Structures are given as C-alpha cells and as structure tokens.
Structure 1
Amino acid sequence: MKKPLLFIITLLSTGLYAQEHFSGISTSRRTGIINATINPAELVNLEKKYEVSVFSLSANVSNNKISFGDLVGGADNFEELLFTGDDPVNMRVDVEILGPSFAMKVDKWAFAITTAAKVRANLVDIDTHLGRALTLDPIMSTTVTANINSQYNQRATATSWGEIGLSAAREIYKDEEHEFSAGVTFKLLFPGAYANMSASKFKGTINTNLLTNETVLDDAQANLNFAYSGSLADGFDDAGNFADFFAGGLNGFSTDIGFNYRWKNVNGNNDEYKLNAGLAFRNMGSMTFKDDKNVSNNYSLNIPNDNNPLDGTSGLDLTQFENADTIQEIEDILMQSGYATLNKSGKNFKAKMPALVSAYADYNISGNWYATGYFQQKLNKDSKDGQIAVQNMISLTPRYSTGFFEVYAPLANNEISGFTAGIGFRIGGFYIGSGSILSSAISDTNQADAYLGFRFGF
C-alpha cells in the first residue's frame, strides 16, 4: 500500500505549494474576478466596466509533520518524516487553476462567467504506527509491537474536477456613504477523477520481526471503504492522472452566496472606501462520479487474535501491500487473505464539495494603507467518506495599495500548519505571492506556498 497511501506525495514533487488560495490579492482594493471567488457580491465593485482574467494558478500543501526545510532541502525520506511521533498525520494538498474568465457591470448589476480546474488530495487522521507499517521496510521500524485503537475515520483521498461558474450580483442599497450588494455563483461541476481509502474504528496490533523483516497485523477489526473513478483507478505514479479535470461530463452543481457592505470615503474617488466587508457561503453542493471504472466497496476487516503472530500461520502480512500500485490490487490482497468481508458494492457515488462560510473586512487605516481580516470555517467534517476536505483558518493582511501597485503581507493561523507569514505584490494586472515565505525564512514551518496570475480591465 506504499504508493496508494502516499499518492499525495506525487503532488509534493511538483514544487508548487501554498495554503490559502491567492492570500492577500483575493481581498485587494483593486476589485476583480479574483475577489469574486471568495464572494460573488464583490462583482458590483469591479474597478472597470469589463474585466478579463487571463490565467491564475495557486497550489498549496499544509501538514503537521513535514517542515518547509525538509521540502526545500531535498529530503527524499518522506515516509519516515510523515509518520514520526504519535499524533495522527494530517495533510492537505490543493491546486487551483483559474482559466479564462470574463466579468462586466451593467447599471446596478454585474455578471461573470468563469472557468476553473481543481485538485484536492488529503491524508486525514492517519495513525502513524499504521502508516509506518504500510510504507516503511520492517528493518526501518522503530517499534516491535504497536497497538492501534482509532475511533475516528482515517482517510487517504484525492479528487480532481472542472468548474464553469455563472455569477450575478446586484446593488441592493446605495447612498452617498453606504452601499450594500448581494451576489450568487452557480457552478457547473465536471467530475474528473476520484480515489478514497478509509478505515474507521480501526483496532489492532502490529508486530514487527526485525530479524525476518515481517510486519503482521493481528487481532484487528475495522470498517473499510475503497472507492475510485476515472484516471485515478489506474494508479497514482503518473501525475497526469490528477489532471483529468472535465472527463466525467456535467454531473454536479454547487452554489456560492455572498453579501457585501461598503462604507465609502465621501472625500475620495469612487473606488475608495473606509471599510469593505463581506460574508459568503461557498461550495454548497456535490458531484456524482459515473465513470465506467467506478467502484465503491465497503468491507469489514476481522483478524482473530494469535498468541504468536510472527510464526507465519496467521495474521495479515502488511509487507504484501508495498508494491501495490492501484486500489484494486489492495482489495485483491485483502480478499485473498480471507480476513475481509465485502458488505456493500456500488458503482456511482457522490463527492460533497468543501462547503465553508467565510467573512472578511478590509479597513482603510490612512491614505494608501489598509488592513484585512479574513476568517473561514468549514461546514462539514473532513473525516466523512465522500467529503472533499478543507481547513479552518484566520488571517490578518496589512497592505499598501495604489491604483497600479500593491504590496501586502498575509499573516495566518491555519488549522493544520499553525502560524504562517507571507508576502505578495501586484503590478498593474499581474500579481504574485506566497502565504508562508516569510515564516519559512524565520523558522521551520510546516507550510510553503506560491501563486501568480494576470488580469486586465477596460
């Protein structure tokens, strides 16, 4: 199971990392389509009558085990680093590509059509003892006997999909000093590829014989789920398997709903304000995978207790999974062992979008100096099978902003990686930034990031 359990590491080798997508620029005073990704009501505040977003890329990884120094230092022992200590492993890998998009204002209304491709891959609450047993050679193990009793659902999952967004926003109230608006984005979802491996209520004992290089799972019970669709059914070694974004056709919908308030600077230009604040409910919906390769199987794992599990007569030899390249190969090994019972088998299944609520406020301190507070809270539990994961976070971003130039420094506290500090720049329609480059320079943080994009208005 070494390769499937750590398929997320494939994404780590791409060299693109971040945490909050487009941190800093998404709440920029220079309002554009990128602002509407966190609140569709912001379309009313477009700087120009028309805006074109040419291309934007943001990719992120956040974890509670591997440090930025390990990543840039060229460390290749990811398995050892990832499964150190006793705390469960959590990792979020998130890539977002915003394709060609267009927005326009018409009187009190604003409209937009956007395109996007996304990849989410996660390790959720993986027990470190189980992770070491499945990914490391027995001779590298540091524990001869490890007892596992995990009541939560351990997951290794990945999803890729495409989106076409149709947005509309309207000014609700406006006077000389105050302005309220609301907006909505309807997203057409195109499932690409999916994979999920989970073990809930996992209980068992892992015994390692350092002389014979055996690792055996004994006295174990768990509920297992294996589900896969599209190109990820073929394996995880090929990075191209994660890039099959629109293969499943139109098979899902989600909605963003947002509200915006502006306290305008009556002594300034039309686009100047004292306060710009918003509230949005995002990614409310799901998509259905209907690929010919679809599989969703639920198993009960039951391995009886053996007083001598290393004598070769009983128990599940975990080293069998080391060379498995696909989930189907893992299932075959389990069924051949006789310890797994198939309870339910299905074909089509749904993936729930990473629904969240977010709020922000951008305050004009003085002149061209601003400060933005941002908060997001997920609405569903990441541990549920079929749920695309997202993490909670809060950030504060001081910025210096003019019409043509902007520099900002996002400071954030993330659910998984903790505190991060970054920096970003905007020159005209081009922007580039990082949510953690400053903190990684000061200390060894568990996050690294980068994003860039280009847009123009007329």
Structure 2
Amino acid sequence: MKKLIVSVFMLFSICSFAQEHFSGIGTSKRIGILNANFNPAELANLSSKMEVNVFATSVNISNNKIGVSDITGDEDFEDLIFQGNEPVNLRFDVEVAGPGFAFRYEKWGFAITSKAYGKLNLVDIDANIGDAIANNGLNSLVNFTTLNGNYNQRLVGTTYGEIGLSAARNLWETDKYKLNGGATFKLLFPGSYANFGADQFEGTVNYIGGNSFLTNANASINVAYSGSLGSSFSDFDSYSDSVFGSLNGFAVDFGGTFTIKDDNDGYKFNSGISIRNIGGMTFKDENNSSTNYNLLIEGTESLNLSQFDGVDSLQEVEQILIDSGFLTSTSSSEDFRVKLPSVLNAYADLQVIPTLYVSVFLQQKLTDDAKNDQITAQNVVTLTPRFSLKNFEVFAPLSQTEIAGFNAGIGFRAYGFFIGSGSAFTALINDSKQADFYFGFRFGFGKS
C-alpha cells in the first residue's frame, strides 16, 4: 500500500502538469472542434466550412499540498504531501483528442471526434493515515494519532475512450444576432478502473518500534477494479495499454450559444452555456470485482500497516485486509457502472477592440467526487485576455481552481497549431501547486 500511495507522488515529479484542459484556447475566436468540446452548439459557428483535427493533447496535475519549488528540494514527496492535518487532494488527468472532422452545411454543423482519457486521483485522503502508511508516522509529534474522517477517502484511477457524434443548428439569426443549439452523443469504451474508498474512517494509529498499528477502527470500505489497473496502479503501461475497451456506455452533451455579430464576419460578443458528460459506462473484464465491506478492529486487536509496504495493486490490498479478519463483506458484484463527471460550462467572450478580446469561463461540477462510482471533476473559473488576428493569437489564462487555487499561464496559436499552459507564469514566479501543458494541430478549409 505504501508503494501504491507513493507511486502517485512519483507521477508528480515525472509529469509536472493541471487545471481544466486546453485553458484559454477553448474559447478562441477561431471556432473549431476544440470549442465544440466545451459546447457542441459552437459547431454552427465554425470559422471554416470544414475542419480536421489531427491531434491535441493536454496533461494536467494539481494538488493542495506540494508546490513546484518542492520538486527540486531535498524532502521526499510523501513527507511533504502528508504534513499537517488538511486532507490530501491530487488530480492527475490526461486527455488526448485523436482524429476528428467537422463541417457546416447551411444552418447546420456536424462533427465526429475521438478521445482517450486517463485519470489518477486522490480525494480527501486523511494526511495522518497517509503519513502512517508511507512514513510510519514520521510527521507525527506524538506516538499515536486519532483518525476521525467523516467523509469518503478515495484512491481512484480510470482509462476510457470516446467517440463523439455532434450536431448543431442555427435556431434564430438576424443581421446583428445569432442563436444556436447543439448536442453531442458519446459512445464510451471503458478500459480499466480501480477504486479504493474508505468512508467514515475512525480509529487510532499507534507508532511502536518504527511500525504503525491501526486500533479501535471502523469504516465502510469499497474495493472495485476492472482490467489492468486492478493488478498494477503505478505501471504507466497499465494506463496506456487499456484505454479503449469494448463499447459499453453512453453519454450526452448539450448546449446553446448567443452571438452579437460585428461587420467583418466575426463577433463583438459570443457566449454559451452547456451541460456535459451526462451518462456513464459499465466495466466488464475477467478480473472484475466491486465489493463493499465493513472494517472493524476492536479491543486489543490491531492491524500492522507495514504489511502494505511494497504493495502495488488493489487486489493485494484487498487480500491483506481479508486475511487480517477485520473485513466483513456486505455486497459484491462482478460488473459495475461508473458515472462520468457531469459539469456545467458557461462562458462569454467580449471584443474590447478589433484585436483584443477578454473571455470568462466557468466549469461547475454537478456530481459528488466522494461517491465510489464517480469519476472526478474540478470547479474552475478562468479569465483570459487575448490578442487575436486571423492566423495568430496569444492569450494569458488566469484561473482559480478548486484544488490548487490561483494560477496564470500563456498560450499561442499560429494558423492551426497551438501550444500553451494554464500555469506557466505562476509555476515560474511562485510556489504554484499545479502546472499543465497542452499542444495540438488542426486545419480548416473553405470560406466561412
């Protein structure tokens, strides 16, 4: 279990990336498939008659404990992440947009897109139990720690693929105004999943002779896994080799846009609202398992937490706990359904002068990250000033995120190529708790 937890923080040192994907470029004046990812109604506003997405990749990580400057320090990540009493939250997310095609025909816009996702998250992990497992209580000032977690603590990872079929239509238009509606129907291909949840975790950790022992404990435990993540949580191949499984889930996005036009086939003001990722997918595999347990340790009994040292899979964690005799199964199933992270997106982009725009973007999650069958999301607010020409843009997203707080970045677009980061500036000038990077290439053809 120690290896299982520490491997998460090794990802932080290897891949320093975070926040919402494609920060800044997603509200670009050059409207294309990326904009439609946030709101399918934008397809009726495509800047070109047709667009081809060649590739786009965004890698994100954010946390509430470790700053960028800590990466170059002498202290171990597990020592830093488990300091203090604030629960640990970490989000590691990768989104890869594969080949896609979009086109406009009269008042309609259509698209077919492909994506792959990989996620590894810590949700509200008690710093004291983490310190006990990873460090044998190194950060504790006394020889015992009382646990009183009145929430669900989760270690969760998932991979899945997606094919999107989108359509949008102009609903109303005058010389000055335009109103669109649109929807995306998503075919989901679940790859691999693993979840360890410990709800209402109470107990005492005693530190004796360099070891940590859990006593007088009770919790509701969920252990669920499917595919390769059940047998290895830290192996990168477990994520990359299991992205696309069989078709076994559906989801939908829908939204609308309102535009005030200018005199040059552009806009003075563009706004939109959408709800994304309504749906879920069912995981099925030969090693599928989802079991709910009650954990109960009473009297003089204790669980030696050093047993989890070197453990790298949920299957091993589950077996150690079962062998301890402290777990009682309450329900079990082979196949299980996982919900996508439904979010509300709202944005507005205002032309200040013909080459200067300012946009505001909001992402508000509509689901509860504490639930064991839920893929996580973040709340984000981003303000982006942008210098924009037809074939060139430079923009500087300023974001406030739920996990890592304030960050500032920069991005560029030259024709169809774009590159950027939502946290480059804050990572360089202060102790930012997130960093991110994205790039991609698409091209359009045909007059708008």
Fold conserved between structures, TM > 0.5: yes
Match of 1:39 in 2: 39
Q: Please report how far the alpha carbon of residue 237 of structure 1 lies from its aligned counterpart in structure 2 after TM superposition.
A: 3.1
Select 1:228's aligned residue among 225, 228, 235. 225
Post-superposition Cα deviations, 1:40-96, rounded to whole Å, max 9, x if no partner, equal: 00111111111001000001011100111123x276712111111100001111100
Letter in 1 for 2:412: F
2:299 alignment partner in structure 1:
305
- Residues of 2 paired with 1:105 and 1:150: CA distance? 53
Deviation at 1:140, TM superposition (A): 6.7
Structure 1 residue 340 and structure 2 residue 327: aligned? yes
Structure 1 residue 325: deviation in Å? 1.8
Which amino acid letter does the alignment assign opposite residue 338 of structure 1?
Answer: G
Q: Which runs of 5+ in 2 are unaligned?
A: none
Alpha-carbon deviation of 1:305?
Answer: 2.9
1:444 to 419, 427, 431: 431
Aligned-partner residue type, residue 457 of structure 1: G
For the Cα contact (< 8 Å) 1:191–1:246, is it kept in 2?
A: yes
1:248 is aligned to 245
* Matched residue, 2:280: 286
Residues 82-231 of structure 1: matches in 2 within 5 Å? 82-137=81-136, 142-209=141-208, 212-231=209-228
CA drift of 1:426 comes to 0.4
Q: Which residue of 2 aligns with 1:269?
A: 264
SS at match of 2:372: coil
Q: Give the 3-state SS of the residue equivalent to 1:37 in structure 2.
A: helix
Say whether residues 1:375 and 2:362 are aligned partners: yes
- Note the residue ranges of structure 1 that are not aligned, 5 or more in a row: 307-313
Measure how far apart 1:17 and its partner are: 0.9
Q: Which residue of 1 aligns with 2:70?
A: 70
Of 155-164 and 324-333, more deviation after overlay is shown by 324-333
Once residues 224 and 178 of structure 2 are traced to their aligned partners in structure 1, the CA distance between those partners, rounded to angstroms, is 48
Contact 2:253 2:275 in 1 (8 A): yes
Equivalence for 2:374: 387
Could you list the per-position Cα deviations for residues 413-440 of structure 1 after superposition, in whole angstroms to 9, with x for gaps in the alignment? 1111000000000011110001011112
Alignment partner of 1:47: what SS? coil
CA separation in 2, counterparts of 1:407 and 1:43? 23
Check conservation: 2:190, 2:248, Cα contact below 8 A. Answer: yes
Distance 1:139 1:393 in 2: 34
Q: Matched residues in 1 for 2:99 and 2:382: separation?
A: 28
Alpha carbons 1:18, 1:451 under 8 Å: kept: no
Q: Deviations over 1:378-427 (max 9, x none)?
A: 00110001100001111100000000110000001111100000000001
| CA–CA separation in structure 2 for the residues paired with 1:129 and 1:100 | 45
Is the Cα contact below 8 Å between 1:258 and 1:281 reproduced in 2? yes
User: In structure 2, what is the Cα distance between the partners aligned to 1:457 and 1:14?
Assistant: 35
Give the partner amino acid of 1:436: S
CA contact (8 A) 2:22 2:438 kept: yes
Q: Deviations over 1:151-170 (max 9, x none)?
A: 10000000100000000000
**What's the CA shift for 1:136?**
1.6
Q: Tell me the equivalent position of 2:306.
A: 319
CA contact (8 A) 2:132 2:138 kept: no
Q: CA shift at 1:12, angstroms?
A: 2.7
The CA distance in 1 between the partners of 2:359 and 2:312, in whole Å, is 45
Structure 2: how far apart are the matches of 1:276 and 1:245?
39
What amino acid does structure 1 have at the position aligned with 2:100?
S
Look up the SS of the partner of 1:385 in the other structure.
coil
Are residues 30 and 247 of structure 1, via their aligned partners in 2, closer, same or farther at CA, if it must alter by over 3 Å?
Answer: closer
Displaced runs of 4+ in structure 1, greater than 6 A?
Answer: none
Aligned to 2:387: 400
Q: In structure 2, what is the equivalent of residue 310 of structure 1?
A: none
- Please give the secondary structure, in 1, of the residue aligned with 2:319: helix
Letter in 2 for 1:130: I
Aligned residues: 445
SS in 2 for 1:19: coil
Flag the 1:139–1:62 CA change in 2: closer, same or farther, 3 A: closer
State the distance in 1 between where 2:335 and 2:79 align. 36
**Is the contact between residue 248 and residue 291 of structure 1 (CA under 8 Å) also seen in structure 2?**
no
How far apart are residue 442 of structure 1 and its match? 2.0
Counterpart of 1:48 in structure 2 is 48
TM-score with structure 2 length normalisation?
Answer: 0.97
- TM-score w.r.t. length of structure 1: 0.95
CA distance in 1, matches of 2:275, 2:7: 31
Could you tell me how far apart the structure 2 residues matched to 1:237 and 1:343 are? Answer: 29
On the 8 A contact 1:67/1:445 being kept in 2, the answer is yes
Shift of 1:7: 4.5
Structure 2 Cα separation of the partners of residues 115 and 76 of structure 1: 41
Distance 1:16 1:80 in 2: 18
Percent of aligned positions that are identical: 49
